[in-house]
Amino acid sequence: MIKFNAALKTILDSVEIVESESVRLTDALGRVLAEDIYADSDIPGFDNSAMDGFAVKSSDTIGASQDNVKVLEVVEDIKAGDIARKILSHNQAMRIMTGAQIPKGADSVIMVEYTKKNQKSKFKIQNGTKEFVEIYKEVKAADNIRKKAEDIKKNELIISKATQLNCAHIGILASLGRPRVKASRRPKIALLATGDELVDVNQRLGPGKVRSSNTYTLYSQIIKCGCIPKNLGLAKDDPAQLEKKIRLGLDCDIILTSGGVSVGEYDLVKNVLAKIGTNIKFWQVAIRPGKPLVFGKIKKTLVFGLPGNPVSGMVSFEMFVRPAILKMSGQKEDNQKVVNAILEEDINKKKGARHFLRAKTRWKGNVYLTAISGPQGSSLLKPMSLANSLIILEEGQGPVKKGTRVRVRFLG
């Protein structure tokens, strides 16, 4: 039986990166960039005011205080988006709004809070009015000025290929005037739940039947990973029907089946996969839950035969399918957090398989504490719904005592 690390490596080695597509900025959040973004201009594009106030020469403010008010003539108003027509001379100020370009001749901005209108304020002169402002604080050169290129320098590599775009990246792309970017296409994932016992959520539940929860857990996991689901519904334990339905997924990047991969005589999925030409890379992994996992490839499509137990299917998705999706989308690393936590109870474990325990992990004081979120049967969805994390216990680990530090992986 293959071990976890070898299984994951086999899967990742089989992954090819999908092609890219042009995506509108409003749809780009969370998408994986398929091009390097170099800045084609400085941001900001010009020295501008960080405050509402007055652009001045700092030398004109030397010694200014409440008791030593400096009076400057206001020679122009510069609104945001405007540019000054004049050049600032000594003993002059220009009223300037946040974001407006610093006029020539000025080297600093004094905040409006440190000024007041001169008593003389505006008065008529021969051909118009004059206006003055009282300054009662000294400013230094560069005060309250946002320098050109302070955030982003022209030709700088500002977002690299393979980055998953966050909200601030989207803002940077907008600032650089890019209404569209190249991103990896969203992988398309087919989903087929198998088993004579299954009925769909809105069907009558006859004796011996169960509703297919896997259809909905896996569908949700596909959505959560940003992929496009193709729901192939349910298939009976019938080779002809299985083959027909699985073939409907061959236009997808990944096919997920659930159920029918155990050792019983009615476990047909593996045989059908082999029959339609799947290169089966492994079957059964030394993990718990999730041992009966089939992985293979048909032409360019990856096929995961997931176990039918609901939690086994979900954990297999999280630990194997999700990393494949990330790599397929061109993403460099998994951002999902793995931390250490202090175990709040004894856990019984036999050496052999790697275990993934459904757990609640919480920050308390200066550490994470973790405890299982209920019974660990692989069919039990309730403890899975209460979990925010999986405790990872290694193959070589035996029973683990309360107080031990264990590895914990947060879910989503």
Cβ-in-10-Å burial (0-12, 13-18, 19+) of 124 comes to exposed
Closest by CA to 71, choosing from 53, 96, 90, is 90
Closest by CA to 151, choosing from 174, 175, 167, is 175
Q: Where are the beta strands (DSSP E) in 53-105?
A: 53-56, 70-78, 92-96
Q: Which of 166, 271, 279, 336 binds its own copies (CB under 8 A)?
A: 166
Q: Which parts of 295-334 interact with its own copies (CB under 8 A)? A: 308-311, 314
In angstroms and rounded to an integer, the radius of gyration of the C-alpha atoms of the chain is 32
Q: Which parts of 233-262 interact with its own copies (CB under 8 A)? A: 237, 262
Q: 64 Cβ partners below 8 Å, 6+ apart?
A: 70, 135, 136, 137, 138
Q: Which of 17, 219, 286, 404 binds its own copies (CB under 8 A)?
A: 219
Rounded to the nearest whole angstrom, what is the least distance from the CB of residue 323 to its own copies in the complex?
Answer: 17
The residue (of 14 and 344) whose beta carbon lies closer to its own copies is 344
Rounded to the nearest whole angstrom, what is the least distance from the CB of residue 391 to its own copies in the complex?
Answer: 16
Q: Which of 136, 216, 228, 344 binds its own copies (CB under 8 A)?
A: 216
Single out the segment in contact with its own copies by CB under 8 A; choices: 4-12, 64-72, 133-141, 173-181.
173-181
234-to-203, 210, 253, 318 alpha-carbon distances in Å: 12, 12, 20, 22
The residue (of 203 and 279) whose beta carbon lies closer to its own copies is 203
Rounded to the nearest whole angstrom, what is the least distance from the CB of residue 29 to its own copies in the complex?
Answer: 4
Q: Which of 57, 70, 95, 355 binds its own copies (CB under 8 A)?
A: 95
- DSSP tag of 33: B
Closest by CA to 111, choosing from 99, 132, 95, is 95
# of chain residues touching its own copies (CB under 8 A)? 102
Rounded to the nearest whole angstrom, what is the least distance from the CB of residue 385 to its own copies in the complex?
Answer: 4
| 11/316 Cα distance (integer angstroms) | 12
Phi, psi (rounded to 5 degrees) for 375: -55, 150
Q: Which parts of 175-214 interact with its own copies (CB under 8 A)? A: 175-179, 195-198, 201-202, 205, 207-214
Q: Which of 6, 62, 83, 157 binds its own copies (CB under 8 A)?
A: 83
Q: Which two tokens stand for residue 374?
A: 């209920």
> Does 55 participate in binding its own copies (rule CB under 8 A)?
no
Rounded to the nearest whole angstrom, what is the least distance from the CB of residue 277 to its own copies in the complex?
Answer: 26
Report the side by side order of strands in the sheet with 301-306.
228-235, 188-194, 254-258, 301-306, 294-298, 279-283
Largest CA distance in the chain: 105
The residue (of 62 and 338) whose beta carbon lies closer to its own copies is 338
Q: How many residues does the chain have?
A: 412
Q: Which parts of 107-136 interact with its own copies (CB under 8 A)? A: 112-113
Using CB under 8 A as the criterion, what x/- string covers residues 4-33 for binding its own copies?
Answer: ---------------------xx-xx----
Using CB under 8 A as the criterion, what x/- string covers residues 352-381 for binding its own copies?
Answer: -----------x-xxx-------x-x-xxx
The residue (of 146 and 354) whose beta carbon lies closer to its own copies is 146
Rounded to the nearest whole angstrom, what is the least distance from the CB of residue 182 to its own copies in the complex?
Answer: 16
Rounded to the nearest whole angstrom, what is the least distance from the CB of residue 339 to its own copies in the complex?
Answer: 5
Cβ-in-10-Å burial (0-12, 13-18, 19+) of 406 comes to buried
Rounded to the nearest whole angstrom, what is the least distance from the CB of residue 162 to its own copies in the complex?
Answer: 15
Q: Which of 7, 72, 75, 170 binds its own copies (CB under 8 A)?
A: 170
Rounded to the nearest whole angstrom, what is the least distance from the CB of residue 210 to its own copies in the complex?
Answer: 7
The residue (of 58 and 379) whose beta carbon lies closer to its own copies is 379
Q: Which of 382, 399, 402, 403 binds its own copies (CB under 8 A)?
A: 382
| 335/283 Cα distance (integer angstroms) | 28
- DSSP tag of 284: -
> Does 157 participate in binding its own copies (rule CB under 8 A)?
no
What is the DSSP pairing of strand 48-49 with strand 145-146? Answer: antiparallel
Phi, psi (rounded to 5 degrees) for 113: -65, -20
Rounded to the nearest whole angstrom, what is the least distance from the CB of residue 144 to its own copies in the complex?
Answer: 11
Rounded to the nearest whole angstrom, what is the least distance from the CB of residue 178 to its own copies in the complex?
Answer: 7
